[in-house]
Homo-oligomer: A and B are copies of this chain.
Amino acid sequence: MTTSQFTIDDSQFTIVFAKTRSKIMSNLLRVTVWNEYRHERSDPRVAAVYPDGIHAAIASSLSAAGYAVRTATLDEPEHGLTDAVLAETDVLTWWGHMAHGEVSDEVVARVHQRVLEGMGLVVLHSGHFSKIFKRLMGTSCDLKWREIGERERLWVVAPGHPIVEGIGEYFEIPQEEMYGEFFDIPAPDELVLLSWFQGGEVFRSGCCYHRGQGKIFYFRPGHETYPSYFQPEVQRVIANGVRWAAPVDRPGLAFGHRPEPIEELIEL
A225-249 Cβ-contact flags toward B at 8 Å (1 or 0): 0000000000010010001000111
Known contacts A135-B138, A138-B138; A258/B18 CB under 8 A: no
Of residues 126 through 163 on chain A, the ones whose CB sits less than 8 Å from some CB of chain B are 135-140, 142-146, 148-150, 153, 155-162
Q: Is the CB of A210 within 8 A of B187?
A: yes
Q: How far is the CA of A169 from the CA of B134 in the complex (A)?
A: 22
**Contacting residue for A258 out of B142, B144, B210, B253, CB 8 A:** B144
Q: What is the CB-to-nearest-CB distance from A81 to chain B, in angstroms, rounded to a whole number?
A: 11
Residues of B within 8 A of A178 (CB): 258, 261
- Contact of A106 with B by CB under 8 A: no
Beta-carbon contact of A181 and B157 below 8 Å? yes
Residues of A within 8 A of B (CB): 8-9, 11-22, 25, 28, 30, 63-72, 82, 84-85, 88, 116, 118, 135-140, 142-146, 148-150, 153, 155-162, 164-169, 175, 178, 180-184, 186-187, 189-191, 194-202, 204, 209-215, 236, 239, 243, 247-251, 253-268
